[in-house]
Structures are given as C-alpha cells and as structure tokens.
Amino acid sequence: MNPVLLLVALLVAAYLGGLVSSKRTLNLSSGGEFLVIGALVGPTMLGFVDRETLDSFRPLLLMALGWMAAVHGLSHGALGAGAVRARSYFASVFATSVAAAVMGTCAFFISGFLGAFSGDERFLIALAAASVLSGTRELHFPSSDLPSATRYRAEIGNSHNLVGLGLLAAIPSLVPPEAAFRLPSWSWPLLGVATGIVLGVTVASLIGASLHRAELWPILLGAVLMTVGLSLRFDLPLLPPAFVLGSTVVALSPEAAKVRALTQKTERPLVLPVTILAGAFIAWQMPSVTWLFVGCMVVLRGLVQYALGRVFTAGAGSVSAGAHVFALSFLPVGASSLAIGLTILFWDEGMVGRSAFAMAAVALILGDLLGTRALGRVALVSESDPAPAPEPDAQEDEEPAARPEEEAV
Amino acid sequence: MSGGGRGWRHRVVQGLSLIIVLAVLLVASQVGQSSSAPGGLTLALGLLLLLGVLLSEVLDVVGLPHLTGYLAAGVLAGPHVLHMVDHQAVDQLSRVNGLALTLIALAGGLELRLTTLREVRKSLLRATIVQSTVGLAVSTFVFYAMKPYLPFLNELEPQAAFGVALFWGVLAISRSPSATLGILSQTRADGPLTRFSLAFVMSSDIVVILLMAAAMVIGRPLIDPSATISLEAFRGLSHEIYGSICVGTTLGLVLALYLQFVGSYLMIVLVLLGFGFSEAVQYLHLEPLLTFLTAGFVVQNLSPHGDRLLHAIEESGAIVFVVFFATAGAHLDLPLLFSMWQVALSLVAFRALATILSHLISSRWSKDTPTLRRWGWSSLLSQAGLTLGLSIIVERAFPSFGPQFRSLVVATVGINEVLGPIFFKTALDRTGETGAGVAAAGSEGNLPRASLRPPSEMSEAPATESPAPEA
C-alpha cells in the first residue's frame, strides 16, 4: 500500500475519531473495531499494508505513543480541573497493585504449566502481563460535579495507570539494555524517570507563570519527543519517561489545569489511528500454546477486574445502575494498556513482546464487547441526565460547549 | 509568539533550559546508541522544536526575529556543527516541508484581502513591473559580469553564459513567502508596510514562476544551439496555472462550505490537505503553491470564515514553522557556503542593491508614502523554498553546469535566508507596525492580526498608536 494513502487513511480515521467522540451518542468504545480493521489489513492477514510500509510508520507511531503517555501523565489523578480525592486515588493504586500482583503471579505459573515460556522469559512475561492487564478504562469529565458512583468510577479510572507504567519501567532491570556504559540493572528505570523529570522541570519552567498557547505546543511536543528519542537511544521503554514528564509538568506548573485541558483534546484523535496501526502489528502466527496462554490471561483479567469492581461498589455510594453493572464497567481496557503492549512489542519483538501485545489487543476487544455498555450506564449516558457545568478552558476551541456524554471519552 | 513583556527571570530560565537541553543531548550522544537508531528521528525532531523555541526567545532579547532562532537551532544542531541531527534525519524531516508549504500558501491566500489589494494596487503593480525588469536586468548583468570568478560559467560560450545569467536574474527576483509570513506571525504587525509586503511577496510568486518558464524557453537555445524556441513549454505552463487556479478555487469553496457546516478539527483537515491533497495536486502536475494560495484567497474573500481558518493555521504553524525553518537551517551546507563565501556574498550584495534600486524607482513612480518608500524593500530580501525549487528545475534541465549553479544558489539563499528576516523585522520595528495587530485586537497571543479585520475597524487602531517595539 502506498504510504501516502495509508497516511491519508489514518488521518481520516483520526478525524472520524475526533468527530465521533464529540457526538452526542457517546462512543465509549476503546476502538476494538479499529484494532480488528488494522489486524485485517495488516501484513499477517490480508496484506494490504506490507511490512515495509508498516515499519516506515514506526517513528510516527512512537511519537504518538509518547504524546499519549505525556497526556496521560498530565491528566493522571485528575478529574475536571481538580485532583481526584485522596481515598479514591489510593484505593485505585492499591487495587491496581493487587491486580498486577495476581496477573503477574498467574502469568508466571500458567506460562510454566503450559510450557509457553521458560527460564528468564517467565519472569519477563509475568512482568509484562502485570503491566498490560492491571489497568482499566479512563473516564474524563469536564467537571467533578457528578453523581457519586460516576465520580468514583472516573476517579479510579484516572488514577490507575501509575502501577502499569511503573512495572513497564522496571522491565529493563530484568534485561539491561546494551549501552556504551555500565549501570547497575536496578538503575535503568531510574534513568528513564530522571529523563522525564529533567525535561518536565524544563517545560514547567518555560511555561512559567504566563501560558502562551503558541509556545506551549512546540515546547511540550519538543520535550515529549526528546524524551521518547532519549528513551529509545538508551533502549528503554518510552512510555514511563513521557508519563513522568507530563506528571512533572502538572506538579510544577501553575497553569497545569489549562495545559491539561488543551492537551486532553488531542488524545482521542490520536487514539484511533494508533489503534489501527497497532492492529496491523498483531502477529497471528504464534504457537497455539501461546494463544492459549494469552486467552487464559485475558479471561483471568476479566475475573480480577470484575471482582475488584464488586469491591469498589462498597465505596461508590449509591449505584443506581446496580453493583453488577458497576463491576462490569471495569472490564474495558484503556488506551494506555494498548500503548504498554505496543511498547513492549517494540522493545522486544520476540515471543514475549508479541504475547504481551496480543494480551493487550484481545483484552481490549473483549473489554469492549463485555463492558462498554455497563461503562456507558455508569457514566450516565442518556439525553435526560443533568449536564455538569463545562470546563471553562475546554470551550475555547472550535467545539461547542461539552455535555458530559460528549466529554466522557 | 513574541516574547514581549517577559522579565529577566524568564530569560534566565530560558537560558538555563537551553543549557540543560544541550547538556542532556550531548551526554546522550556520547553514551547512547547511534543516531540512526529508530529514536534518531524522534530525538532530532524534539531537539529542533525545543532548541528552536529556546534560541528564538534568547535571540529575541537582541531584537532578532524568531525565524533566525529557528534557523540557528538547525545550523547548531545540524550535521555540520554539533552533529546532533544527522543528514538522514534532516532528509526525513524534510517531509514536513510539504505540509509547511501548504500552510504557508493557504495563509498567504488568506492574507490577500481584496480590500488590501485595492489599497496597494498601484504600488503593487508598479513594483512588480520595475522589480521584474530593472531588478532582473541588473542581476542578470552582474552575474554575467562575474563570469571570470565562476569557473563553470567561464567555460561556456558568451551567449550560453548569458542564458545562465538570465536564470540567475529570475531567481534573484524571487522572494520568500514563508519568511514574510513567519515574521508577520511573530510580530503580529499591521500597517502600510505589512500590507504592501504581504501583497507583493505573495503575488510575486506567480510572476516568478511565469518568468522562469519564459527564461527556460529563451535560455535553452542560447545554452544548447541545437535546441529551438518552443511554445510547448508555454502551453504546459498555461495548463499548470489554469489547472491550479481551477482546483484551488474548488478547494477554497469546499473549505468554505466545510467551515460553514462542520468547522471542527481544522488541524486534522489542514494536515490532511498538507500531506494528502498536495500529493494529489503534484500528481496532476499542478503548482501546489498556486493552488493553495488560490484556495486561501477564495475562502477569505468569498466567505466569512477566512479569519477562523487563518487562526487554525497560525496554531498549527507554531509547530510546523519551527520544524520547517530549523530543518532548513540544518540543511544549510556550511562547508559549501565557506568555500564560495566571497562570490556568494558579492552576489547577495548586488541582489540587495538591485532590489533596493528597483524599489526606489517604483516607489517614486507610485508616489508611495515616505514610510513605504524608505522601508518597502526590507521584505524583498529573504529567499527560501521557491528559489531552491526553481534552482532544482535548472539543475535537472542542464546537468552540465546545473549542480554548480545550484550550489551557488544554495549558498546565496543561505545568506539571504538568515539576513532577510532580520532586515524585515527591523523595518517593522522602526515603522512602529510591530504588535499593531495585537494592540488593535486588544490581547496578546492568540487573536488574529488587525489586518484581518475590516478596514472600518482597522482605521480605529492606527499603526502609529502601537506600543513601542520591544527590541
């Protein structure tokens, strides 16, 4: 396929993604259908997009992943213009840690039992599974003035990706990169974090007390791309440093809410083209035992998320949709899980990377099938629901003032 | 993007940030993998963006335009100085040029209001005539006179050398819409000089394209005695121009309808146009610059949505222009520039003299205002993409001397690219037009310039009332 045609197709997808997310009929799907389209046209299925063309898009994909991670860093632990409540934040981090521990342990033993992986690869796949499968779908609203259950679900979802990204950052400590200098294996993750902090501090200082939008984009994008480039140069997973950069900017900049509002609008148009391209990277030719392992892990993830959802019901106050629906709303997978899977695939294109990415992809499709409707009910998707006041900073673009169902992407 | 009103603390922070970024990069380049690894392009793009903005802010202190900062960032990080961005990355980043030129042409068309054109039509017409005759003749003569100092020209027969000099003359009267728009976007200027510069530079593109086609028809038989004058080139050219205007008009109408009935996600639409539609235009053998210029003109003058589209372009341009000019800086062949600096500098000086002389003649003829008479030449010195593009055409048509000719063009464009914007910004500062758009719009940063508003509103905010230039 001609690269220009593919680029045009991706841009059209980005346009549709942005348009769909702004329509009244809320699209809470994580983009499973786009993932399937990408997989179908990819080199391992119908072959409309050959491997060479796909590889030529890799730099673009890496940049998009870095930007998404930075946006997640900017919106981490936030709801509307403010921060999530401390109890919700710690509950989310604790629950994600539990999920990660369960997924990692199970991945280690199941991979051994099935004989899918052996030796050090079992540790690696355990860490990858914990990183990819511990999270859930984010919910962004322009305001925190929401019914208690909706607010709680949004707060949990918007605080979950710290653990997954932390585990992703730890992967190089298992397999230290080949670099021109020697470092203790435990210090590699710290190098990535330090890169994100240094550039995050730089961005926050440059933005300073007065935010010039025309300067914000090149400064922020430049810093994110530098972080991504440096991570790749050090052979580190690119998401954690970019996420740290975003979080550092939020922590240090007095204009954090404005920056967050401006950047959040860029996420949805990026997610769909990334999802299509990601789909094309799915390697179908894996041994059946590996697919069996992937299937087991995804089913297990569903059970764990459902169980955690039931536990969370207790803290959600009155749940009008019912405890069962509330628990099911934790099944959809966020864009960050797919991004983590893709990052692991790019970091290790062997069986571990392929399996990690396959887990993310299958979890995303199944999560969309089983949990999107429930998530919609928890997020109050109906024309009759009261609309919280729109966020002032979110209005200045060309979009009309947002209703909650328009913003909850 | 002007950094006016920033305190010294902010400048110190910018300086420190610059040092940090360079230090991180230097460490990474020493200890990491090679820059040709997958992250090389990403790192290069990030570096050029960040370094471009930082250097432009630092140079802003001494009154230099932001564009100079972007170019300096490219030169500094490029393959000839710090080697942080290698040749491969520079070539890959050049793909963004198509998008940048689309945005520049669209913005150029959007800036051409019929009211503005009517206002300056007398000066515009006479300046075009004089620059295209006197400017072209002087530049051609000077180039021919420098024959003994140009080995590739000295080897040719006199009439062939004259043919080559004719090409040079046409290239000498080409300007840089991107540099002009880049400076105006930074300074948010408005006033007689701004309006004249916009109208002249944008419309001169069309004139230069036509003159180059004519020069090819006349020059080819002079250089190659076996060739004859053929009108086929003119037929092809007229097809190209007519087709470009038709497609541009259609595109402009479609854009106007889109802005009327949908109007969202303009940034994605612009990127789609820049990468997808410009490919289609090139496939049809049309002139992309003229096509998008026409489209912008149609949107501005046949719909009420011109300002909105221009605003979206300015937002996207914040990133695209930095990359475009920084890549141009990294592309500068410094060794070549050093090897022929004397000849290149002489040609640049004579071109500047020819431009100023032509401007003085046309300005006196048009009875321009003293401000325009004194500073009207300042926007005509910059050269960039169009000049280089035309030199490639000459190189392909005449392989025997084309590469040397193009090297000389690259060297002179390099100098003009750096010096031209400095002169233009200085002139805008001196005439008090800098920031007039902001002052009239009542805010800093994100509003369109005053020149975009109807003349009735503009008259309420004369340029002379603008704040003092920050430099």
* A82: helix, strand or coil: strand
- What residues contact A283, with CB distance under 8 A and at least 6 apart? A44, A354, A357, A358
Long-range contacts of B440-447 (CB under 8 A, 24+ apart): B440/B190, B444/A212, B444/B2, B444/B4, B444/B5, B445/A212, B445/A213, B445/A214, B446/A213, B446/A214, B446/B311, B446/B315, B447/B311
pLDDT at A71: 92
Q: What pLDDT was estimated at residue A130?
A: 95
Residues B42, A215: C-beta atoms closer than 8 Å:
no
Picking from A19, A230, A235, the nearest residue to B265 by CB comes out as A19
CATH match of B98-465 with 1.10.10.10: no
A376 at B interface, C-beta within 8 A: no
- The C-alpha atoms of residue A17 and residue B136 are separated, in whole angstroms, by 52
Are residues A195 and B319, on separate chains, in Cβ contact within 8 Å?
Answer: no
Query: What residue segments make up the domains of chain A, in order of their start?
Result: 3-178+266-404
Question: Under an 8 A CB cutoff, do A232 and B10 touch?
Answer: no
Q: Which of A59, A181, A217 sits opposite B42 (nearest CB)?
A: A59
For chain A, what's the residue count? Answer: 409
- Alpha-carbon distance of B190 to B201, in angstroms, equals 15
Return the residue of A nearest to B268 by Cα.
A15
Neighbours of B334 (CB within 10 A): 14
For A184-223, what is each residue's pLDDT tens digit? Answer: 878 888 888 998 998 898 888 887 755 566 678 888 999 9
Residue A4 is encoded by which pair of tokens? Answer: 């220009």
Place of tokens 């400590």: A173
| CB-based burial, A222-247: b 16+ in 10 Å, e otherwise | bbbbbbbbbbbbbbbbbbbbbbbbbb
Residue B5 zone, left/alpha/beta (φ > 0; ψ -120 to 50; rest) = left
A341 versus A161: which is more confidently predicted? A341
Measured from the Cβ of residue B86, the count of other Cβ atoms closer than 10 Å reads 18
B3, closest residue in chain A (CA to CA):
A212
Handedness of CA B330, B332, B336, B337 (dihedral sign): negative
Residue carrying the six token digits 């096509």? B291
Question: SS3 of A181, please?
Answer: coil
What ranges do the domains of chain B cover? 8-93, 98-465
Quick one: which of B35, B299, B382 has its CA closest to A233? B35
Of B31, B45, B92, the CB nearest to A179: B31
Which residues face A83 on adjacent strands?
Answer: A78
> Which residues on adjacent β-strands are paired with residue A78?
A83
In this prediction, residue A90 carries a pLDDT of 92
Which chain A residues are Cβ-neighbours of B319 within 8 angstroms? 217-218, 221
- Is A331 within 8 Å of A310 (Cβ atoms)? no
Q: Give the residue among A397, A72, A11, A77 at the shortest CA–CA distance from A224.
A: A72
Token couple for B401: 């001397």
Residues B337, B414: contact at Cβ < 8 Å? yes
Report pLDDT for B53.
Answer: 85
Q: Which residues of A touch B48 (CB under 8 A)?
A: 222
Cβ pair B38:A215 closer than 8 A: no
Residues of A in contact with B315 (CB under 8 A): 213-214, 217
- pLDDT beyond 50 at A89: yes
Q: For A4, which of B45, B279, B322 is closest by C-beta distance?
A: B279
Residue B177 near residue B202, CB atoms below 8 Å: yes
A400: confidence class by pLDDT, cuts 50, 70, 90: very low
Q: How many CB pairs below 8 A link A and B?
A: 166
Interchain pair A221, B319: CB under 8 A: yes
3-state secondary structure B364-397: HHHCCCHHHHHHHHHHHCCCCHHHHHHHHHHHHH
Instruction: Name the region of B86 (left: φ>0; alpha: ψ -120 to 50; beta: rest).
Output: beta
Instruction: Give mean pLDDT, residues A223-230.
Output: 90
What number of residues does chain B have?
A: 471
pLDDT digits (tens, 9 = 90+) for A320-352: 778 888 899 999 988 889 999 999 998 888 899
Distance between CA atoms of B354 and B136, rounded to whole angstroms? Answer: 8
pLDDT by 10-residue block (mean), chain B, 471 residues: 55 76 72 60 87 83 78 86 82 77 82 82 89 91 89 84 91 86 81 87 82 83 76 75 91 92 80 83 82 91 89 79 82 76 88 92 89 89 78 80 80 84 90 68 38 31 30 21
Reported pTM: 0.79
b (16+ CB within 10 A) / e for A319-347: bebeeebbbbbbbbbbbbbbbbbbbbbbb
Strand pairing category for A78-79 and A82-83 = antiparallel
Q: Are B170 and B390 in contact (CB under 8 A)?
A: yes
Chain A residue numbers with beta carbons less than 8 Å from the beta carbon of B33 are 179, 232-235
Cβ-based neighbours of A385, under 8 Å, separated by 6 or more: A404, A405
- Given a contact cutoff of 8 angstroms between Cβ atoms, the answer to whether A333 and A135 are in contact is yes
**Mind telling me how many Å the CA of A21 is from chain B's nearest CA?**
12
User: CB A234 to CB B13 under 8 A?
Assistant: no
CB B163 within 8 A of CB B219: yes
**CB count in 10 Å sphere of residue A5:** 14
Contacts of B308 in chain A (CB under 8 A): 398
Return the residue matching tokens 């348009």.
Answer: A19
For A38-79, the pLDDT digits (tens) are 888 888 888 888 888 888 888 888 999 999 999 999 988 888
- Mean pLDDT in chain A? 82
Shortest CA gap A110–chain B (Å): 34
Quickly list H helices, A115-143: 120-133
The Cα-based distances of B23 to A183, A198, B28, B51, B230 in angstroms read: 20, 11, 8, 12, 59
User: What per-residue confidence (pLDDT) applies to B98?
Assistant: 76
Helix (H/G/I), strand (E/B), else coil: B36: coil
| Contact between B71 and B359 (Cβ < 8 Å) | no
The whole-number pLDDT of residue B34 equals 53
Band (A126; pLDDT cuts 50, 70, 90): very high
Considering only the C-alpha atoms of chain A, give the largest distance between any 2 of them, rounded to a whole number of Å.
61
- What is the DSSP annotation of B215-276? HHHHHHHHH-TT----THHHHHHHHHHHHHHHHHHHHHHHHHHHHHHT---HHHHHHHIIII
Residue A299 corresponds to which tokens in the numbers above? 């089913």
Q: Tell whether the torsion through CA atoms of B132, B137, B142 and B146 is positive or negative.
A: positive
A393 or B413, higher pLDDT: B413
Residue A179: per-residue pLDDT: 65
ipTM: 0.82
Residue type, B210: L
C-alpha–C-alpha distance, residues A378 and A374, integer Å: 6
B365 touches B123 (CB < 8 A): no
Q: Looking at beta carbons, which pairs linking B335-342 to residues 24 or more positions away fall under 8 Å?
A: B335/B80, B336/B407, B336/B410, B336/B411, B337/B410, B337/B411, B337/B414, B337/B415, B340/B407, B340/B408, B340/B411, B341/B411
For position B459, what pLDDT does the model report? 29
Burial of residue A120, with CB atoms counted within 10 A of its CB: 0-12 exposed, 13-18 middle, 19 or more buried: exposed
Phi/psi-derived region of residue A236, left when phi > 0, alpha when psi is between -120 and 50, beta in every other case:
beta
CA distance linking residue A338 with residue A117, whole number of Å: 22
Find the helix or strand (DSSP H, E) in which A78 lies: strand A78-79
CB contact under 8 A, A232 and B275: no
Helix (H) or strand (E) run with residue A169 in it: helix A161-174
Mutate which of A57, A398, A399 to disrupt the B interface (most B C-beta within 10 Å)?
A398
Backbone angles phi and psi of B192, in degrees to 5: -60, -45
What are the phi and psi torsion angles at B332 (to 5°)?
Answer: -55, 125
Q: Which two tokens stand for residue B165?
A: 């000099």
